[in-house]
Amino acid sequence: MLTTLIIDDEENSRITLRNFVARYCPGVTIVADVPSVAAALPAIEQHVPQLVLLDIDMPIENGFTLFERIPKPGFHTVFVTAYDTYALQAIKQHAFDYLLKPVNIDELIHTVNRVRLLCEQQVKAQRYDKLLSSLQPPATRSRIGLPTAQGYEYVPVADIIRCEAEGCYTIFYFVTGKKMIVCRTLGFFEGILNEYNFQRIHHRHLINIEHVQQYERGRGGTVTMSDKQQIPVSQRKRDDFLNALKSM
C-alpha cells in the first residue's frame, strides 16, 4: 500500500482528494489529512508517508515552508494547487509532480501510479539486498554490504557511527571521517542494523549506540556522537532510546 498524507487548509479540498484517491487509486492508503504545515510535522513523524499531496497557498505558512522544516524529506511530494505560477518554485523543491485544482482525475491517477511504481521498485531492490545479506557466511556478519554503482562495498558495522536519511538515500558516517551515500532508504538499513545495537532516534537518524558520548535532556533530547555531531531525539522515540542505553 502506498501511504499518503494530504496537507490542505481547505476541508472541502481534503475531502475531495480523499474521495478521488479512494475511488480511483486502489492500493493507496490516506494515513491522515491535515490543514497546515504545523499539523503535518507530527503526522509525518508518526506515519512516515511515502507520498505527500501538498497545497501551496495556505495561511500562516505556505506549502513551501514544509521544506524549511524538513529540508531532506523521505517522501515524494506532489503539489496540488489552484495557481500555476508556483510551478518553477515547485520544481526547485524537487517535487515529484504538480497538479492544478480542480484536480483532473486522469492526471491524479497517472501521477499516483508513477509514485507507486517507483516505491515498488525501491522495495524490490531492498528485498534483494536483504536476501544477499542473509546469505553471507556467519563469520562475515560483522560487516554489511552497501550497494554501489559497481556492486557492493563491505564495511565493518563497528565503524559506522550513524546513518542519516536524505530522501530515498541514506548517508553513512564512519569513524574514519568517510561519508558514503547509498541508494536505499533509512528504513531498509534500520531493519538490517537493529541486531547490531543501532537505534532509530528520529525519522531522519539511525545511530550506533556504541558511539553515543552524551545525552542531554529536553523535549526529546539530544545525543552527541563520537564524531562530535549533535543529533536530535524525537519525543516519540525517546523512551525506546533511553531503554536501549540502559541495556548496554
pLDDT on residue 110: 94
- 39 vs 93, which has greater pLDDT? 39
- Name, in order, each residue with C-beta under 8 angstroms of 150's C-beta and a sequence gap of 6 or more: none
Per-residue pLDDT at 198 exceeds 70: yes
Q: What is the β-pairing status of strands 76-81 and 51-54?
A: parallel
Q: Is there a contact between 45 and 234 (Cβ–Cβ < 8 Å)?
A: yes
Q: Taking residues 102-113, report their average pLDDT.
A: 94
Rounded Cα distance between 65 and 218, Å, is 25
Q: Is the pLDDT of residue 162 over 70?
A: yes
Q: What is the pLDDT of residues 45-84, one digit of tens each?
A: 888 899 999 998 888 888 888 888 887 788 899 999 887 7
pTM for this structure? 0.55
Q: How far is CA 105 from CA 90, 166, 205, 209, in A?
A: 21, 31, 37, 48
Distance CA 224, CA 232 (A): 9
List of domains in the chain = 2-126 (3.40.50.2300), 152-246 (2.40.50.1020)
What is the overall mean pLDDT for the chain?
Answer: 86
Per-residue pLDDT at 139: 41
Instruction: For the chain, state the CA radius of gyration.
Output: 20
pLDDT over 90 percentage in the chain: 49
* Cβ 2 vs Cβ 117: under 8 Å: no
Cis peptide before 26 (omega within 30 of 0): no
Using CA atoms, how far apart are residues 191 and 133, in angstroms rounded to an integer?
11
> Which helix (H) or strand (E) element contains residue 38?
helix 37-47
Residue 167 in grid coordinates: 530522501
Cα 223 from Cα 54, distance rounded (Å)? 32
Over 60: is that where the pLDDT of 150 sits? Answer: yes
Best CA proximity match to 122, nearest among 76, 172, 91: 76
Backbone φ, ψ for residue 26 (5° rounding): -65, 150
Alpha helices in 70-185 (DSSP H): 87-92, 105-134
User: Nearest Cα to 161, choosing from 176, 178, 173, 153?
Assistant: 173
Phi-psi region of 195 (alpha: psi -120 to 50; beta: other; left: phi over 0): alpha
**Would the pLDDT of 122 be above 60?**
yes
As a whole-number percent, the residues of the chain with pLDDT over 70 amount to 88
Distance between start and end Cα atoms, the chain: 36
